[in-house]
Amino acid sequence: MSELHLAVALDGAGWHPAAWRDPSALPDALFSPVYWLSLVRLAERGRLDFVTIEDSLGLQSGRYDGLDGRADHVKGRLDALLIAARVAPVTTHIGLVPTVTVTHTEPFHVSTQLATLDYLSTGRAGWRAQVSGRAVEAAHFGRRTFPAFDLASHEEPAVQAHIAELFAEAADHIEVVRRLWDSWEDDAEIRDVATGRFVDRDKLHYIDFAGAQFSVKGPSITPRPPQGQPIVTALAHSRAGYDLGTDIVYVTPTSVANAAEIVTEVRSLGPAKVFADVVVFLDPERKARLDEVDGAPYTSDAHVYTGDAAGLAELLLSWRETGLDGFRLRPGVLPADLSAIVDDLLPLLRAEGAFRTDYTATTLRGHLGLPAAQNRYARTEVTA
């Protein structure tokens, strides 16, 4: 039986909006580097494939069409990519996958920032590409005005057209970032003293991308990163998000049957690996207490598992039968549920031969079993 791939999604004090109020939480530390480093080291101790770090270009809100005004939930974040960069030199194996928005950001900067993260981590960088459709975030940039919409107006034609445009821009953004990574061939730096040349400029390539929202000339300012292509991932709830040209798609099945349908659909579109997102509460009493202080039972776009580690192991192994490559677990409370994943869940999966006992690679591509990335611009070697 092949091994599962496992990631954890780090967000603030955990995914439950009242997580910060749990006695085990560290709400005073959420904006300190030590907090993030200890979470990532805990995940690395568990030999997980990677961590993702949530981010957004606006305040956290329970509403899609604006802010929620709630002072009893965590508000505020640090830039996820810089958190990953801060952690990279002092971790050794675990993949680091920050969320970076594609909608208002510059593909050139995003490409060089992720390439730099790959250098800092010597080949452990990834990217959770995220679309921002919220009108309040567009107003932070002042370039475009977005319609405010919510679940009720989601199906209206104007909203659907807006969403289609956002996903087209996301696909363009990812394409530009990938081209820029390839715009330097691996052996472009030659340091040839005889001719005085530092680089062989025939191995640097313009990318000449022209799209609806931006055009980018290239080449990158940053040499091709250690992995060639860092791992690109996205959370997706429908076909538009499954088809962005990512290496991993995080999906949100609600049942085994639903997982099977989604896996079939994603596989029909391309070679991406499919991870299912599951929110994890490994202490049902704690979950109940937090629901109570929050005034409502916790809900999520993803399946919410509440129970013991044995039950979770069983769920993961049975869902895996649908062809899922792995899971991204969203700990309900940090660090408590991450500790329980590492100390209680993983030994059970290892006993089934379903998860690695130690790292066998040092790069994220290596953990995922992906081959070296071909460079789209490198001339094919002609063999006799």
Partner 1 sequence: MTKFSGKPQKQVVLAAHFPGVNNTTVWSDPAAGSQIAFDSFRRFAQSAERGKFDFFFLAEGLRLREQRGRIHDLDVVGRPDALTVLAGLAAVTTHLGLTGTVNATFNEPYELARKLASLDHLSGGRAGWNVVTSSDAFTGENFRRGGYLDRADRYTRAAEVLHTARELWDTWPADEVTADRAAGVFTRTGDPGHFVHSGQHIDIQGHFTVPRSPQGRPLIIQAGDSDPGREFAARDADAIFSRHGTLESGRAFYADVKGRMARHGRHPDQLKILPASTFVLGTSTEEAVEKAHHIRRQQVSPQTAILLLEQLWNKDLSDHDPEGPLPVFDPVLDDDSIIKGRTRLFDDPLATARQWRDLASEKGLGIRDLIIEVTGRQTFIGTPSSVAATIDEFVQSDAADGFILVPHLVPGGLDEFVDGVVPLLQERGVFRTDYTTTTLRGHLGLDHV
Q: Which residues are annotated as a binding site for FMN?
A: 55, 99, 154, 238
Residue 148 binds partner 1, judged by CB under 8 A: no
SS3 content of the chain, % helix, strand, coil (to 5): 35, 15, 45
Stretch that binds partner 1, among 1-9, 199-207, 311-319, 360-368 (CB under 8 A): 199-207
Q: CB of 203: closest distance to partner 1 in angstroms?
A: 10
Residue 31 binds partner 1, judged by CB under 8 A: yes
Q: CB of 336: closest distance to partner 1 in angstroms?
A: 15
Task: By CB under 8 A, name the one of 43, 53, 74, 354 that touches partner 1.
Answer: 74
Residue 76 binds partner 1, judged by CB under 8 A: yes
Residue 271 binds partner 1, judged by CB under 8 A: no
Number of DSSP helices (H) and strands (E) in the chain, helices first: 12, 13
Task: By CB under 8 A, name the one of 45, 75, 154, 239 that touches partner 1.
Answer: 75
Residues in contact with 361: Cβ distance below 8 Å, sequence separation at least 6, in sequence order: 367
Residue 71 binds partner 1, judged by CB under 8 A: yes
Ordered DSSP codes for 330-358: EESSTTHHHHHIIIIIHHHHHHTT-S-SS
Q: CB of 248: closest distance to partner 1 in angstroms?
A: 22
Stretch that binds partner 1, among 216-224, 306-314, 339-347, 354-362 (CB under 8 A): 216-224
Task: By CB under 8 A, name the one of 99, 103, 113, 252 that touches partner 1.
Answer: 113
Residue whose CB is less far from partner 1, 116 or 258: 116
Residue 63 binds partner 1, judged by CB under 8 A: no
Exposure letters 85-109 (e unless 16+ CB within 10 A, then b): bbbbeebebbbbbbbbbbbbbebbe
Q: CB of 9: closest distance to partner 1 in angstroms?
A: 18
What CA–CA distances, in Å, run from 170 to 32, 67, 73, 232?
Answer: 31, 24, 29, 12
Task: By CB under 8 A, name the one of 151, 152, 157, 191 that touches partner 1.
Answer: 191
Residue 136 binds partner 1, judged by CB under 8 A: yes
Q: What are phi and psi of 303, to 5 degrees?
A: -60, 135
Size of the site for partner 1 (CB under 8 A): 78
Please give the angle made by the CA atoms of 42, 310 and 22, to the nearest 5 degrees.
50
CB 217 within 8 A of CB 108: no
Residue 144 binds partner 1, judged by CB under 8 A: no
Residue whose CB is less far from partner 1, 16 or 303: 16
Residue whose CB is less far from partner 1, 104 or 350: 104
- The sign one gets for the Cα dihedral 155, 159, 163, 164 is positive
